[in-house]
Structure 1
Amino acid sequence: MTPSARLQAAIELVEAIATAAREGGAAADTLIRDYFKQRRYAGSGDRRAVRDLVYRAIRRSGERPPSGRAALLGLAEQDEDLLALFDGSPHGPAPIAAGESGAGAAVVPAWLLPRLDPLVNTEEVPSLLDRAPLDLRVNRLKGDREAAAALLPEARPTPLSPLGLRLPEGSQVENKDAWHSGLVEVQDEGSQLVALACGVAPGQDVIDLCAGAGGKTLALAAEMGNRGRIIASDTDRGRLSRLAPRLARAGVTNVEQSLLNPRAELDALADWRGKADAVLVDAPCSGSGTWRRNPETRWRLDPQRLSRLVELQAYLLDVAVELVRPGGTITYAVCSLLVEEGREQALGFEARCSSFVSEAAAIPGGRSCGPGRLLTPGHDGTDGFFVARWRAPC
């Protein structure tokens, strides 16, 4: 592909990604993969170059751009070499028309900027789009960090999680023996800390209420030494279906899966009312703490969707109240930096359930944030997470 053809491919992809964001379609990585499946002539260098252009344009455009062309033109306005590729050559983009301008640049959509938690100050905002590291969690069921490091000499311990290893940018892990044997699992350091914040112990009965594909379920099982029972539940059949092979590879044997119907979770979990030692509510959220991994998710959010998410989070916390035993714990976590989903959600829970006692999340890193702690890319080098924990009255 010529440089101009690469630019035109990036324009087409950003257009498709923006459309998918508006209409609730596939994620950017999926669209890029499918695009090149249909264009076998593109070599590995072409794919890398186009992907880099696509994500540079996405990261630059805080607001969803009016078109893929506007997004790439905005990027080119700061890059003379890129600007010259709007040359009308075969398979390249048309020349720039008189008065045509590119999409504006921003890290955070304007309507969301005042909704960031006050701890995320102006200086910290650019870090929300830094490139995320590749972190691994060492599976205690299979070995310790020293054993994993011996198999992965290029890895370095993460600064906060006692279970974490960090690989250099561009590393591949799924071809490593440490991964195939189940000794390590890909998991951001922030997610590792959320699992540790639950404070689970061997022999307990634990519910992971929003388990998804099970990353934190696996971490909880390892902390419990495969003793006790974990109910991994979710309303998303597709995500939950990915858990079984991960359990097998990790050697986890104390997890039961439960597919729930939305707004009828307590029907499926009726036998667990008032019995769980610990409930983790890793609630659906804006994902604003993971923009550095998935920057196009900024384009999927609007005030109405955010309002629905905040209402769902409160509902799931109330479900957890019905499931936890007297003296048990509820841990609430969201991969969000928005005040409505973090400290305000936690304060709302305390107003509704004043008999529950707030407990400090015993994790390194983060900053005190209302009843919980806030982990951020700029302060902690992790994905952004709010986490809080409460103990039920006896």
Structure 2
Amino acid sequence: MTPSARLQAAIEMLDWIIAAARDNGASADNIAKKFFKERRYAGSGDRRAIRELVYAAIRRWGDRPESGRQAMLGLVADQPELRELFSGSNYAPAAIVADEPVASGAQIPDWLGDRFASLIDENERKALFDRAPLHIRVNGQRSTDMEVKSAWPEAVALALPHGYELPTGTQLEDRTLFSEGAVEIQDLGSQAISLAGAAAKPALVLDLCAGAGGKTLALSAMLSPDSKIIAADTDRGRLSRIEPRKRRASARNIETILLAPGNEMESLQHLKASCDLVLIDAPCSGTGTWRRNPELRWRMTPKRLEHTTELQQRLMVLGSELVKPGGRLVYAVCSLLDAEGGDQADAFLANHPGWKEISIDLPIGRPYRKGTLLSPYHDGTDGFYFTCLEKL
């Protein structure tokens, strides 16, 4: 493909991504897979160049552009070499005309700018758009750190036990240690939250928003095989992904429960006041994962954020009813917004005097508003806020 044809393809892919962001459709990564599946003529070099153009545009614009063309025209100011590719020739974008609408604005939407945690300064904001590293967690029940270092000599040990960073692009799926459940791909921030949950060695654990089970599996590897971990979620598709993962890791202490949205307690009644630990990795804006999913900015609106924080509040109350006296609740969000982090912890403790904050000693993160803040610039992790609370 010519450079102009690659640019036109990037514009077309961006149109798909913009529409999906507007209509709550598929993620940018899934759209890219479908896009290239329908264009098998695009070689590996073409696909790489098109992706780079697409993600340069996604990272550049905090507010959702009206079209892929507007997004790319806006990039011309940063990458003037793109101008000549708008030639109007075969397979090229149409020539630029005077007064044509162009995307503009900052990387972070104006309405979100003052909602970040106070520790998130300009350096932190820039780091939100860096390329995310590849972190893995070694399953100590299935392998050793020495075996992992032997398999990947380039692995760099991280601040937490069994955490390593590999070069971006390292293929894991075809390696024996991965197929045998000895390692899992997991951001160090997620590993830290799991470690905080495992600190008191709980015997009965409920992962209330388990998703595909990343933290469920981490807890299973950190706790005694005699412990019981229940992974629950309202999304059948995501929850079903735990089964092959737990078989691969030989995690026999994990059970799953599919919940009815808005009526979760119906399936959890038997756990009321029984759990040593309830982990709530709550649905959120995902501001802490912009390195991986920058198009999330195009999906979030003030109204959607309001609905999300209301759901978080409800989940915290629900989870608290399932914790036994002396047990713990760990609330976490992959967000750096106060509304989803510190504000939620403050509000819960103000309305539930039978709870107290527990300090967890970790080598990463910063104390922040009755919890811990993890961020790309300070910790090299995705952005997280989490708090550990104990029931009196």
After superposition, give the CA deviation of every residue in 1:40-99 in whole Å (9 maximum; x if it has no partner).
Answer: 111111111101110011000111011100111111222222111001110110010012
Give the RMSD, CA atoms, in angstroms: 1.2
Structure 1 segments unaligned to the other structure (5+ residues): none
The more displaced of 56-65 and 116-125 is: 116-125
- Partner Cα separation in structure 1 for residue 226 and residue 147 of structure 2: 23
Match of 2:184 in 1: 185
Is the contact made by 1:134 and 1:166 (CA closer than 8 Å) also made in structure 2? yes
Question: Counterparts of 1:342 and 1:54 in 2: how far apart (Å)?
Answer: 31
Structure 1 distance, partners of 2:101, 2:126, is 24
The answer (yes or no) to whether the contact 2:202–2:277 under 8 Å persists in 1 is no
Question: What is the deviation of 1:108?
Answer: 1.1
Q: Name the counterpart of 1:90.
A: 90
1:241 maps to 2:240: yes
Q: CA deviation at 1:364?
A: 1.8
Question: Matched residues in 1 for 2:175 and 2:12: separation?
Answer: 35
Q: Give the whole-Å Cα distance in 1 for the aligned partners of 2:133 and 2:122.
A: 23
Q: What does 1:176-255 correspond to in 2, within 5 Å?
A: 176-200=175-199, 204-255=203-254
| Amino acid paired to 1:19 | A
Query: CA 1:287 to 1:201, structure 2 compared with 1: closer, same or farther past 3 Å?
Result: same
Q: Is the 8 A contact 2:202 2:276 kept in 1?
A: no
| Offset of residue 181 of structure 1 | 1.5
What amino acid does structure 2 have at the position aligned with 1:309? T
- Letter in structure 1 aligned against 2:131: R
Cα distance between partner residues in 2 of 1:196 and 1:62: 33
Correspondence 1:68 to 2:68: yes
What's the secondary structure of 2:123's corresponding residue?
coil
Partner secondary structure for residue 253 of structure 1: coil
SS across alignment from 1:388: strand
List gaps (5 residues or longer) in structure 2: none
The letter of the residue matching 2:314 is: Y
The CA deviation string for residues 223-278 of structure 1, in whole angstroms up to 9 with x for no partner, is 11322101100001010010000001111000110000112111101111011011
Query: Letter of the aligned partner of 1:84 in structure 2?
Result: E
In the other structure, the counterpart of 1:113 is 113
- The list of structure 1 runs, each at least 4 consecutive aligned residues, that deviate by more than 3 angstroms after superposition, is 200-203
**Mean Cα displacement is larger for which, 296-305 or 142-151?**
142-151
Identity of aligned residues (%): 50
Q: Report the TM-score when normalising by structure 2.
A: 0.98
**Is the CA contact 1:202–1:227 (under 8 Å) kept in the aligned structure 2?**
no
3-state SS of 2:308 partner: helix
- When normalised by structure 1's length, the TM-score is 0.97
Aligned to 1:370: 369
- Report deviation, 1:122: 2.3
Match of 2:18 in 1: 18
Q: Could you report, residue by residue, the CA deviation over 1:182-209 in whole angstroms, capped at 9, with x for unpaired residues?
A: 1100000100001001135667000000
Farther-moved stretch of structure 1 (220-229 vs 9-18): 220-229
Aligned residue identity for 1:11: I
Partner of 2:255: 256
1:388 aligns with 2:387: yes
CA contact (8 A) 1:290 1:383 kept: yes
1:204 is matched by which residue type in structure 2?
A: A
**1:100 and 2:100 matched:** yes
